[in-house]
Amino acid sequence: MENSLNASQESDKALDRLIPEASNDSKLIIETKEVRSLDDSINLETNSPTISPTVQKDESSTNAETEEIFQLRGEDVKNTLSGVYFQGVQYFDLKNVNFINNTGIANLIDLLKSLLEQGVVIKFVNVKDKIKTKFKSLGLDSIFHFS
Amino acid sequence: MSKQFYFDKFEDRKPYSAITDNKYRTWMFQFFGIVTIVLGIAYLNWRWRYSLNPDALWFAIPLVLAETLSYVSTILVVFNFWSYKDPKKSPPVHYLSEIEDLQGRRDRPVKIDIFIATYNEDVELVRQSIIDAKKIIYPFSDVQIKIYVLDDGRRDGRDPAKENMKKVAEEEGVNYKIREHNKGYKAGNLKNALEHTTGDLFAILDADTRAFPSFLVNTTGYFRRDKVAWVQTPQWFYDTSEAEPLSSVINRNLKIENKNLIRLVDSVFGRIKINEDIFGNDPRLFYDVILRKRNFYNAAFCCGAGSIHRRDAIMNLAVKDFADGIKRLEEDLLNKHAASNIIEDQKKDLVLKQEIIPFKFHASEDIYTSIMLHADKENRWESIQHPDIECKMLSTQDLDSWVKQHQRYAAGSLDIAFKDNPVFKNGLTLGQKISYFTTIWSYFAPFWILIFLLSPVAFFFSLALPVQAYSFDFFKYFLPFQIMNTITIMLGCWGISTKRGDQYYISSFWFMLMALLTVLRGKEVKFNVTPKGKHFAKNTQHILPHIIIISLTLIGMLYNAILLYLGKHPTASGFAANAFWCIFNIVALSVMIRAAYWKPLETDSVDGN
């Protein structure tokens, strides 16, 4: 089955080809932003010389490490992932994602649901085995489609 | 000038120190506990086989059954109190690598969020909690600690009739979060918070929870053990009513003004103290003994406030629950249609229908979520009941609020028992199952308490004895068991007075029975926000059953006393035994009547909503 967790290598290659092509067509692109950094702890070091907690306004996160993409809930995941839209399917490239925690997975579920409401199916490409295994262990392999 | 509250005068109260574990006392408890269980078996064996009065089985059977059920509680207490096993304390964490496996990620300081959940509490009361949260210290300046007021009352200024919680949050410089509905009540509020925050650890405080500066320093270290999912700290109510000399109460109520008379009353009654913790609110026995000893079985549950949680644990549960929910819906569909292509077609709807819910949407979201985390076979999450007090809270100040709060606890736990009983929950260890069963079992107590309360009444009016005779045999079996039981409880609750707790255990029979009926009738258990203030609402409805039972008991006693006087009473020993038991019952029942009409000396008021 094309959208199963263990997709064939052929489809991987096809998608690798597809992404650069699709990226050139602005009409097809939903999101092609670079992965945004999310860690907002950097500013705090200078702002909090005391040992009391720094009380801050809730602010949109900026400038952090890419490896934390999928730790953070509450961010607009669509803006943090590279992706292309092609023939009713939104492809997201997870080649830079080496780690995903449960909050990150919850984010992806939110993303899946929000696009599903618009009739868009999600597929992830270049997914590392470690991450596939994690999805499987959580029983999400029948919900998420990897190619 | 800041707003005055009734509890301002208690600001300087100091919390109790946690009980120091003593292995010799524990051994003694275990020894006496086993002896009590053995003597209980002997007593009940004698009761069932030899003592029942064949002429009054209608009376004898219910009573012996009640005694047997009560004995089950005794066994559970011995099991539950078996031993302390306080987890090792560690210094506060600094880096993420100290609390979880980085799996190749770059290290960074941990991030901690502090949630203050509110719904309708006085905003100035919440301000105090915010101010105290801001005073929380942490030894590492690069650890990001953010405070969030989670206002489910949407008091963001849109409704001029409401106080403005948002303004208070802004004035205090903390974050403010609302949502446009109240789905899931507190659990829903926390869900919303977790969707908009990023802390690796998060603390849950209620609107009236005032954290001490050491709150995080003393608790985050436990998370070095990567399976620790949450740490619960004791909830300490710093506003419980103070003890006052009986002489003051007499002088005040009788309006005695003569100085000599006042001196006389003082000299006679001055040493007797009454009215301490009139509502039995002091939860020390619960936190310092019951819950803390559950560390031994990794079965201490979260109590909803004054706790700190590992985000990844709760999100793991939420994600798994999401996947399981879809699987269940799929199975339901399969059973209906038996065609997998139909399911594929409808899968989109299933996914959209399902939600990610970190804390279970339930009236007892704290205990239910604890059960689910404990039952996770893959992760084997650990819970910790921290022994020391790290925050202070307000207690209910009138009987109506008290009853509603406790009724919700009872109904919530019973609802779990009927719908998703932990005893049958796959993944829980035997110790955890028995511990959760103990909590649930305690809410069935009104069945046997009611029989104990009505037994003397039944005797007085029927003159029938439930036992063949109050003979030497009765006392031979009964007394050793009761004496050993008393010693066992004393050792198990060392240093804590159980008087008030015992009284409320009996006195609570009616509202607990009502909670049981609510659940049995299948009614939804609602999450009522506990008012924190003084309301002096109509309390009579809660004590009517108590008044009826006390009245029947007194009338029965009078009737029997007359019969005795006339020489027409068939069993004087029966009268003596039941009269003794009645005094115990009346004292216990009267505590709630007293609470219903209790008012503090100064009636300065604070509104809870």
Global ipTM:
0.81
pLDDT at B174: 97
The separation between CA B353 and the C-alpha centre of its own chain, rounded to angstroms, equals 34
- Report the percentage of chain A scoring pLDDT > 70: 44
Give the residue carrying structure tokens 């609470």.
B595
- Other Cβ atoms less than 10 A from the Cβ of A102: the count is 24
Is it the case that residue A75 has pLDDT exceeding 50? no
Which residues does chain B have within 8 Å of residue A50's beta carbon, measured at their own beta carbons?
141
Look at B245 and A61; give whichever has higher pLDDT.
Answer: B245
CB contact under 8 A, A99 and B103: yes
pLDDT at B546: 93
| Per-residue tokens: B447 | 């069945």
- CB of A39 within 8 Å of any CB in chain B? yes
pLDDT at A82: 64
Helix axes B499-507, B572-597, angle to 10 degrees: 100
Is it the case that residue B205 has pLDDT exceeding 60? yes
CB contact under 8 A, A116 and B105: no
- In angstroms, the CA B468 to CA B445 distance is 26
CB contact under 8 A, A51 and B138: yes
| Per-residue tokens: B217 | 């320093």
CA angle (A34, A37, A39) in 5-degree steps: 170
| Of B181, B94, B97, the residue nearest B144 (C-alpha) | B94
Query: Judging by beta carbons within 10 Å of its beta carbon (0-12, 13-18, 19+), is residue B566 exposed, middle or buried?
Result: exposed
Q: Please, what is the average pLDDT of chain B?
A: 89
- CB of A102 within 8 Å of any CB in chain B? yes
Contact by Cβ (8 Å): B319, B329: no
Query: Tell me, what DSSP letter sits at residue A89?
Result: E
Give the residue carrying structure tokens 């934390």.
A68
Q: Give buried/exposed letters for B246-284 (b at 16+ CB in 10 A, else e).
A: bbbebbeeeeeeeeeeeeebbeebeeeeebebbbbbbbb
Residue A87 falls in which region: left (phi positive, over 0), alpha (psi -120 to 50) or beta = left
Extended strands (E) in B311-398: 382-385, 391-393
Is it the case that residue B296 has pLDDT exceeding 90? yes
Residue of A nearest to B177 (CA): A58
Q: What mean pLDDT do residues B497-510 have?
A: 84
Residues of A (113-132) whose Cβ lies below 8 Å from B: 113, 116-117, 130
Of B136, B141, B348, the CB nearest to A48: B141
Residues of A (60-89) whose Cβ lies below 8 Å from B: 61, 65, 67-68, 71-74
Give the closest-approach CA distance of B292 to chain A in angstroms. Answer: 29
pLDDT band at A64 (very low <50, low <70, confident <90, very high): very low
CB contact under 8 A, B312 and A40: no
- CB of B489 within 8 Å of any CB in chain A? no
| Of B200, B371, B359, B389, the residue nearest B298 (C-alpha) | B371
pLDDT at B165: 96
Contact by Cβ (8 Å): A72, A43: no
Is it the case that residue B383 has pLDDT exceeding 60? yes
pLDDT at B281: 74
Q: Helix-strand-coil percent breakdown of chain B, rounded to 5?
A: 55, 10, 35
- In angstroms, the CA B387 to CA B289 distance is 9
pLDDT in tens, B24-35: 999 999 999 999
Q: What mean pLDDT do residues B220-227 have?
A: 97
- CB of A140 within 8 Å of any CB in chain B? yes
Which residues does chain B have within 8 Å of residue A99's beta carbon, measured at their own beta carbons?
103-105
Give the closest-approach CA distance of B225 to chain A in angstroms. Answer: 18
pLDDT in tens, B74-130: 999 999 999 999 999 999 999 999 999 988 888 999 999 999 999 999 999 999 999
pLDDT at B338: 62
pLDDT at B334: 78
- CB of B148 within 8 Å of any CB in chain A? yes
CB contact under 8 A, B315 and A73: yes
pLDDT in tens, B260-274: 887 887 777 777 777
Q: What mean pLDDT do residues B538-563 have?
A: 90
Of B103, B194, B320, the CB nearest to A139: B320
pLDDT in tens, A4-22: 333 334 334 333 333 333 3
Residues of B (162-181) whose Cβ lies below 8 Å from A: 172-177
- In angstroms, the CA B223 to CA B310 distance is 8
- In angstroms, the CA B265 to CA B260 distance is 9
In DSSP terms, A34 is beta-bridged to: none
Of B139, B197, B378, the CB nearest to A51: B139
Residue of B nearest to A120 (CA): B348
Sheet containing B210-211, strands listed edge to edge, beginning at the edge strand earlier in sequence: B210-211, B391-393, B236-237
pLDDT band at A61 (very low <50, low <70, confident <90, very high): very low
Query: Tell me, what DSSP letter sits at residue B468?
Result: S
Strands B236-237 and B201-206: unpaired
Which residues does chain A have within 8 Å of residue B173's beta carbon, measured at their own beta carbons?
55-57
Is it the case that residue B344 has pLDDT exceeding 70? no
Which residues does chain A have within 8 Å of residue B111's beta carbon, measured at their own beta carbons?
41
CB contact under 8 A, A73 and B194: yes
Of A55, A116, A143, the CB nearest to B323: A143
Q: What mean pLDDT do residues A119-132 have?
A: 87
3-class DSSP state of B447: helix
- In angstroms, the CA B282 to CA B299 distance is 22
CB contact under 8 A, A56 and B316: no
- In angstroms, the CA A114 to CA A76 distance is 11
Q: What mean pLDDT do residues B415-436 have?
A: 95
pLDDT in tens, B157-200: 999 999 999 999 999 999 999 999 989 989 999 999 999 998 99
